[in-house]
Structure 1
């Protein structure tokens, strides 16, 4: 739901009534992961998506019905060879969709509005909702903040909310959306309650070192993917707003010095395009010891070999060197800055999602994976 939080928060502020359909579980191949949402307001305006288009019409109708009934409902969409007219996913998977009305009289509306408002402001927030269990608890919600404070009520056993808050905080800390199975007494016991925990966290960072023409194209690609993009270069004549109008931040400083003082986390990607040993070596020495998601460096194979030799001489270990993606990017045959940017972000996505980077044609592994991000390599 947080993928359309900004618009939904505006609807709530305007006093509009609406219903939100959220993907709460996926089995097999499906185009959208848990947390994806479609919303319909009382005037029939729709935003968002829960599939590649194959079940949108049916979900739209469920949202409209939710206005009339004022009740949260759970619906399953799959694919049936026996019924050619059934609404389902042509990709063969199964999704469970929960439809929740949001209005003055609707249960949990206050919690949902608070969660949407916090997400729209960029505040770290986790929304935990009951998506499987007793009918009377379906749709009950908690808004959980990083400090453990929360709004809402799940009902049931007194330990249930305490356990739900702890699980939501853990997923929020990791910046992940996922499901948690609990019993009604709050213990981890499959078959009781299932919570969908949606995490809204600030966008991940992409730091591009080296204010070159390839960097300008990479900035645009990074922004398209939702990164907060910073360009850093020690040369003020090149690191300018005029050359990088789409960057969120432009920093004039030595790259390794800036990296040591700026904030990074397990979702941060570092793209080293400086292509100069006096910048690359001290920067990569620092970068390879940080628990970030990705470290890539531009250069030919000869440049890469020389760079590795220099890094070893400064004390970088073989284990640390295995984290370096160089030459940067996937083999797409890229030539232009824009094509090169595509090869870089393609590799970043593959690393993040556990993809192989090979053509899907002839590949027998699942097209749509479980949506979980791969863990980052530990800093040595």
Structure 2
């Protein structure tokens, strides 16, 4: 929901309705992960994507039906259905999509969600997608220290709050099944918990031409990008229009201050692009001492790397800390230009965060996508894998989650 929250709020604020389609579960090689969304407006316009093109046409029509008053829909798509020529996923995966009408009456606290997203305050949106009719479509918002909304059951609300906070810590969405008999109601209830956490940070230290390219690419990939350099003449918003923040300061001092403020974590990537020992060594001495940082990389030749290692050892950096440094920076793809180098660097950041090898997919075996349970907190990038049409059904059998214990 994070990716469409501002447009959704704009429509909501005017009192208009929008159909929100959300991927709530996936199985096998699904092109996008749970939490991927698509909006269908009353004027027929669309924002977002669910499958890279496989099921959007069918979801669009369902969204139009929902806006016309048909009620919320839960629809599964996959290759296991009978009609292989119908809409679906021939890439081998299966996804389940929940399509609901969003308006002031169905989502009265949407503005609270939008405010939290703007303030980079983690919030989970828990939506009842199946269950007793009175609670279907109900939403509970959960923060680390607060809850808003209710299912009408204190027992369910507490269970949802506990699971939602676990999702916020893990940084991933989840479909959870609850036993309705715990509340003296028949059957089960399924709740999709969407963890809206701040985007991962990319700290680009050194205001170079390579930094300009990396900033543009990092922002496009969804990172919160900061550029920092002590040279004010080079470190300007005009040179880095894609950066979310441009800071004139010594990189080592900026990084130490960010760490002291608690703004450096396992989803933070630090890329040092200065090529200058008087910048590199101090900031790397700080970065490599931070156990919380997710990735530390530094640009330079192998000769520069050897000299840098010597200087860092003299500055007191241990061998175990030095092993955390990715240098020379980037994957070996033959990059030459700043743009190609930026691709090489960001690919290394993503591979490191998702714990993948970075080798060509043709040389590997097994699934090409991480399962949701395999994705570490640092993983951010979304797949753009394309699929052809296949099938659609109304079942939820692929969401294999045990009842809440």
* TM-score (ref. length: structure 1): 0.88
Q: Does the CA-based 8 Å contact 2:215-2:225 persist in structure 1? A: yes
Q: Deviations over 1:340-367 (max 9, x none)?
A: 0110111111122233211122432312
CA distance in 1, matches of 2:131, 2:238: 55
Greater Cα offset, 128-137 or 323-332: 128-137
- Secondary structure in structure 1 of the residue aligned to 2:124: strand
Alignment of 1:353 onto 2:349: no
Q: Deviations over 1:170-217 (max 9, x none)?
A: 322444333344434779xxx954432212233332111112221111
Q: Deviations over 1:261-319 (max 9, x none)?
A: 12322211100112222222221121122212211111112222222233233332232
For residues 333-352 of structure 1, what are the structure 2 equivalents within 5 Å? Answer: 333-352=334-353
- Secondary structure in structure 2 of the residue aligned to 1:32: coil
Check 1:324–1:186 CA distance in 2 against 1; reply closer, same or farther (3 A cut): farther
Alignment of 1:83 onto 2:83: yes
CA distance in 2, matches of 1:14, 1:120: 19
Alignment of 1:224 onto 2:223: no
CA distance in 1, matches of 2:303, 2:133: 64
Q: Does the CA-based 8 Å contact 1:80-1:88 persist in structure 2? A: no
CA distance in 2, matches of 1:131, 1:92: 25
Higher relative contact order (CA 8 A, sep 6+): 2
RMSD of aligned residue pairs (Cα, Å): 2.5
Alignment of 1:249 onto 2:245: yes
Q: Does the CA-based 8 Å contact 2:170-2:377 persist in structure 1? A: no
Check 1:241–1:52 CA distance in 2 against 1; reply closer, same or farther (3 A cut): closer
Check 1:73–1:304 CA distance in 2 against 1; reply closer, same or farther (3 A cut): same
Alignment of 1:261 onto 2:262: no
Greater Cα offset, 177-186 or 85-94: 177-186
Check 1:116–1:282 CA distance in 2 against 1; reply closer, same or farther (3 A cut): closer
CA distance in 2, matches of 1:135, 1:253: 57
Q: Does the CA-based 8 Å contact 1:79-1:86 persist in structure 2? A: no
Choose from 152, 155, 159 the match for 1:155. 152
Q: Does the CA-based 8 Å contact 1:6-1:119 persist in structure 2? A: no
Check 1:68–1:253 CA distance in 2 against 1; reply closer, same or farther (3 A cut): closer
Check 1:358–1:134 CA distance in 2 against 1; reply closer, same or farther (3 A cut): farther
CA distance in 1, matches of 2:233, 2:81: 63
Q: CA deviation at 1:322?
A: 2.3
For residues 109-258 of structure 1, what are the structure 2 equivalents within 5 Å? Answer: 109-112=107-110, 114-116=112-114, 118-119=116-117, 123-147=121-145, 149-156=146-153, 158-184=154-180, 192-258=188-254
Greater Cα offset, 228-237 or 53-62: 228-237
Q: Deviations over 1:233-253 (max 9, x none)?
A: 222333233433332322222
Number of matched residues? 369
Check 1:60–1:208 CA distance in 2 against 1; reply closer, same or farther (3 A cut): same
Greater Cα offset, 343-352 or 314-323: 314-323
Alignment of 1:328 onto 2:329: yes
Q: Does the CA-based 8 Å contact 2:268-2:294 persist in structure 1? A: yes
Structure 1: runs of 5+ lacking an equivalent: none
